[in-house]
Structures are given as structure tokens and as C-alpha cells.
Amino acid sequence: MIARARLQGLVGVVMGGVKIPGKEGTDGVVGMVVGNGNMEPVPIVGVEPNGGNVGKLGVWSVGIGKLLSPVLGSPGMFKRRRASRLLDGFLSVWMKKTVYAYVIMGDNASGEDYEDIDWNTEDELDITPSSGPSAVTTAEPIVSNGEASLSAGPSNYKVVEHFLGMGFSEELIERAIKDNGDANTDAILNSLLTYAHLEESPAEINSCNQQQQCVDDDSFNLSSDDDESALNDLSESDSWSGSWSGSDAAECSSSLPKHEKALLSLANMGYSIEEASAAMDRCVLTLPTDLFCRSWGFNRRTNRFYLRCPMAKTEDVFFEEEKPNISLLNGVLKKRKLYELKNWEKKKRKGLLTEEDDIIRLPKPMIGFGTPSDPMVITRRTLPEAAIGPPFFYYENVALAPKGVWDTISRFLYDVKPEFVDSKYFCAAARKRGYIHNLPIHNRFPLLPQPPRTINEALPLTKRWWPDWDKRTKLNCLQTVCGSARLTDRIRKALEKWGDNPPLHVQKYVLDECRKWNLVWVGKNKLAPLEPDEVEMLLGFPRNHTRGGGISRTDRYKSLGNSFQVDTVAYHLSVLKDLFPNGLNMLSLFSGIGGAEVALHRLGIPLKNVVSVEISEANRDIVRSWWEQTNQKGNLIHLDDVQLVNGDSLERYAGMFGGFDLIVGGSPCNNLAGSNRVSRDGLEGEQSSLFYDYFRILDLVKCIMGRQQ
């Protein structure tokens, strides 16, 4: 029988820093967690240290929740080994060394050998439901090689077993077969889904709908077989998922709390209760729940999977793959999704979206917990327990990221709420950024001398030429590119036609260009983009910080545009001065041109050891040059790729220095920034997803520091 394994959607992601005893290089364990129908993570029920063979990463394997199984496939038939081998395939197309997410395969068996798949071809990765005769859906009768030999029972035995394996109760299956006959599995499944639906409470129905969004559009049809070796690792009976098949499920969840069962399961595999508990805390609790209600897409350009928000991109999800003969299951799901969409739109129109629907909002004014000139709004806050250091951490990114991004970032970073600050309260240029950190917030102090706060003060030579119809007192955000000479030439010619009082439409044209490109007046009718050293000054860097040493002008703009505003960051970090009078050890991720290092130095906080991770050689040169010129007494260690930073190296450095006191990082904003017209893909974008490495490394260091104490 031709059958295909169907990868049924990525359900959950977890990343943890758990060392698997005796297994080298498993610090950066990336987890695979599935959710259950209640939108909760399912506790980890097993560890397969070698499962993914993911370079130096280990792989968790997990069971499948009972309520999920009608949608995702059969927990009873879930084969770890096969799943992990499928993962290998995905890893090969993931392109990145670090893996954030795995696809859980619904175990619809097949007759083809999945190992023959060329995972690097796009065809096999097509996320659209495949058409043609070989395309089967979850609704078709499916028999794996392994089970075929067992199926000697009555004619509907296989059908019953199949649906049993999907987690439906025997009673429901019998009822469905009675209603539909045993030939039409589509109809049976539909009935089963309906029965199950009716049995759920309204709240559960709602969450179930969200859950199912993961499933249809982003499913894969992939060949797979039932490798005999799949059976030789963990037996089904000692895994938790095994006990979840069929009607045992309800009893199972009611007898012991889930986490205790998972603990037992881990303990049975040879880990101490302590280790198991730590693993579970770390992995299960840091799982952001919104991942469960998102669906997955595949970016062909980058060859990577990404999460997409069902709310923002609903139309894509719905209509890009309209095909007449999509399976009944898909039909049901689409109807539900459509229903949900309409509900959501209705709510939105009526303004009924609650706080829960839209949690993190930008404050106005954007002054965070206060600025040097504004009175402190808040001087105390209560941090979530998991966020409390050591180490201190400080994370930065653009404030105006696509919706939901900051919620996700915040959930990963231990539910600390971001502090949004616009640097226009610190200097003459706007820079709206969000900072998530676990630093104290009382007794902050600014760098002295405080930088000029208006354009006139910052660039006094421009004052003479500034027309009264240009009302700007602050510059806009300093970006990575600047206006060209040809542009300012066009503006000059446009102005010269009109003498001293250009008409309103010319004024508007000029002002629009000025705001867009941050132009300043340097002569009569003469505008100019900011010079790189002016940008350095505005951002709080020493003059010539990025100058020379082989860096081009455009690269200077780029590096500066990607940097911190030093005064702003220094104000936040100033509380460290009393805490570390003898200096601190810092791990600086995405260092760029060393904004954090410069800030700490200017605060007078000695830098004992700095491990700086920065991909750009030019930027590393800048920091090294600054390090030497400022006669730093400490050690500067440069690494290039955050993705290659693993537990071994972190443990080594932490051992050398006695741990890290501070972890600073502003991860790439390319895919978040509003000015990106090409690939504003959100947090799962090619560069911005490196945020997860920030979290991964932070979590690893927390883990290491916890052990050292």
C-alpha cells in the first residue's frame, strides 16, 4: 500500500541548557516538545541523547499529548528513532548549526524508504499539500510495515487500531464506525472529531481551534517507512506516550500530576531526580505558549522554517493553497480557522480585544523607568524569580518590532517586561528601543558630561543656516544608510529657484527628505547627511571610534547604525558600579562596535574579562583597537559566531573567570525593523532569529552559574 508519512506541523519549541551526563557536548540541548489540546506543554517523557545526531547537540524526544493525537497522529505509534532521523533531514536544510524547532511526525506509515529522500531539494519540502495520486491524508487508512504483520484480526481491526492509536476512545470509534461503516475513514475521522468536539468545554474548543492551526497548511507529505531499527531504542511500554493511547489517557492524566510522571520517566532512564527536575523546570517552564497557536511556514529563500502569526497573516494561511479536494480533515480545520478569524475580526471591530489579546504596549512617553531629566517614574520592580541573576543580563532590540515579537522575546527572557526607551531623552537623536534586563533600577546615574540634547547644541555650526520653517530640534533614528550627495544636490537646486522663502510645497518636499535622511543645514540652501564622526558623537562613542583601519564609509554608517546609544545604555548599566567596584566579567553577544564595553568604560567600571562575540571582522577590529587605545587592563576574547558558542566553551571561560557577571546583547533587528521592505519576517527571520541564541547562551550561563554556586 502506498502511504506517506505526513509531518503534521510543528507544535512546540523548547530550548534548554541541560547537560546529559556522560554525553559530550550536550549542553546546548534543543528540545522537542509537543503540546496537548489544552495548550499546555507536555512534560518531557524521555531523553534520547544521541537521537538527532545534531552535531554537538542532543535531542529530547517526547511523547504526544492525548488531546493532540486526533490532530497530530498516533502517540502509540510514535517512533522516536524515526522522528529523530527525520529531524536529521530537516537539520540538513535548516542551514544553521543551532536548531530551534523540530517537526513532529504523525506516524502514518508508509511503504517508501524515507532515507532515499534528497532533503535538500525543494520539492520534498513543499509545504503545500501535495496533489496527485500519491498524496494521502491523515484520513486515509494507513498501515505501517511494522503493524501490518500484526493485523490479522477482523476486517475493521486496522481501522480501529488506527484511530485508537490516534487517541480516540474505543467507544467513540465504535460509534463512528457504526455511523459510517468501516470503509470510509474520512467520514469516521470527521465523526470522531465531531464527537470529540462536542465533549469539550467551550474553553477547550477555543484552544483546540488554535492548536489546529498548526496543522493543515503547514503539513508536509513526505515519504517514510517503518524502519525496523526504529523499534530497537526505547520500547513503547516504558515511555509515557505509550500509556496515552486510547482510553488510558484520561486515567493517566488524572492519577499522577503530569510533571511527576515525567520525572519518574526520566528517572527510569537513569537520571537522578534532581537532574530530571532541573531539566523539566528549564525546558517546560520556559516554553512560550504562543508558539502553540502559531503555524509554520517555510521560507524558500532562506531554506528555513519560520513561525507565522495566524492573526497577522491569516489570509496567507487560508487562501494560498485553495484546492478543491483537500482532505476532509483540512476542510474541517479550515472552517474552524475561518470561524475563528471572523470572530477575531468582529472582536477587533467592536474593540473587544482584551489586554490578554495584546499584552505589551509601547509607553508614552517612552522613558522606561525614567531618564536623567525626567523624575523617576518607578524605582522598584519585582522580577520573576527565574529572571533573577546571577548573571545580570541586558538585552536590546528595536521597540517597534512587528506585533507579538516583544511578547515572545519577553516570555523567553523569563517573563521580564521590556523597558522601552527613546534615546531622544538622552541625546539629540531618536532611538526607540526596548531593553529587557534584570538590573536594579534605583540609583541610576547618567554619564557625564551629558550629551547635547538638541540638534543646535550637538551641531552648533548648523544653527546659522537653519531656516525657521524647519522646526526639527531632534534627529530621527540614525540608520545604517545615509542620504547621498546627489540627493542634497537635487534639494539645493530645488531651493535655489525660490530665494529666501520657498513655497509650502517645496518646504514640504525638503522637510520630508530631511526627516527621511536626517539631513542637516550646512550652508545656504545646502543640506548634508551626518558625517560618520557626528554619528559617533551622537551615539556617545569617542571620536574616530570607527574610523580608519580599512573600514569604508558605508561600513561605518552600517556599524554605527546597528549600535547602542551609549548614554542610554550606560544609564541603565550605571547601577553596576556599586555592585562591582573591582570590575566585572562580561559576555558580550552581538557586540558590534562595542557599545556596552564603551558604556561600562565610561562609567568607570573596570572590565576584567570580556568575551565578545561578533560576526563582523571589521567590528571586531574596531573593538580591539578601542581596547588597546583605552589601555584596558583586562582580557578581551573575541569569538565570531554566536551559533558556535556552546556549553563547553562557556563553561571553560566561566571556569577561568569565576563566572560571568553580565551578559549584554542586542540581537539583529534586520527582520524586525520597519525600514526593511524586503524581509521584515519577524523574530523568525534569517538574522533576527539569532535572538534565540542570545537566550540559549544566557540560559546556559545561568545553568553553569547555578551549578558553580
Partner DNA sequence: CACACCATGACGGGCGTG
Partner DNA sequence: CACGCCCGTCATGGTGTG
Q: Which residues bind DNA (CB under 7 A)?
A: 312, 361-362, 364, 396-400, 402-403, 430-433, 476-477, 479-481, 484-487, 512, 515-516, 552-555, 558, 561-563, 590, 666-670, 672-680, 687
* Contact criterion met (CB below 8 Å) for 519 and 511: no
CB of 512 to DNA, least distance (A): 7
Residue with smaller CB distance to DNA, 128 or 679:
679
Q: Which of 473, 395, 400 is nearest to 431 (CA)?
A: 400
CB of 438 to DNA, least distance (A): 19
- The DSSP bridge partners found for residue 527 are 521
Residue with smaller CB distance to DNA, 546 or 562:
562
CB of 455 to DNA, least distance (A): 13
CB crowding 111-130: b at 16 or more within 10 Å, else e: bbebeebebeeeebbebebb
What distance lies between CA 512 and its chain's CA centroid? 35
Residue with smaller CB distance to DNA, 508 or 543:
508
Residue with smaller CB distance to DNA, 172 or 673:
673
Active site residue 669: yes
**Torsion angle in degrees (nearest 10) through CA of 319, 320, 322, 327:** -100
Gap between the terminal Cα atoms of the chain: 59
CB of 184 to DNA, least distance (A): 41
DSSP alpha helix (H) spans, 139-231: 145-148, 157-165, 170-180, 185-199, 202-212
Residue with smaller CB distance to DNA, 259 or 432:
432
Residue with smaller CB distance to DNA, 65 or 540:
540
CB crowding 178-200: b at 16 or more within 10 Å, else e: eebebebbbbbbbbbbebbeeee
Q: Inter-axis angle of helices 532-539 and 553-561, to 10 degrees?
A: 20
Residue with smaller CB distance to DNA, 265 or 568:
568
Catalytic hit among 208, 214, 514, 669: 669
CB of 592 to DNA, least distance (A): 8
Q: Which of 129, 310, 141, 282 is nearest to 214 (CA)?
A: 310
* Contact criterion met (CB below 8 Å) for 17 and 29: yes
d(CA 244, CA 128): 31
**Torsion angle in degrees (nearest 10) through CA of 287, 288, 291, 292:** 70
Q: What is the CA radius of gyration of the chain?
A: 29
CB of 122 to DNA, least distance (A): 18
* Contact criterion met (CB below 8 Å) for 210 and 39: yes
Q: Which of 120, 125, 43, 48 is nearest to 79 (CA)?
A: 48
CB of 480 to DNA, least distance (A): 3
* Contact criterion met (CB below 8 Å) for 68 and 215: no
Between the alpha carbon of residue 195 and those of residues 87, 169, 192, 641, the distances in Å are: 33, 11, 5, 51
Grid coordinates belonging to 370: 525614567
* Contact criterion met (CB below 8 Å) for 475 and 529: no
Residue with smaller CB distance to DNA, 301 or 323:
301
Active site amino acids: 669
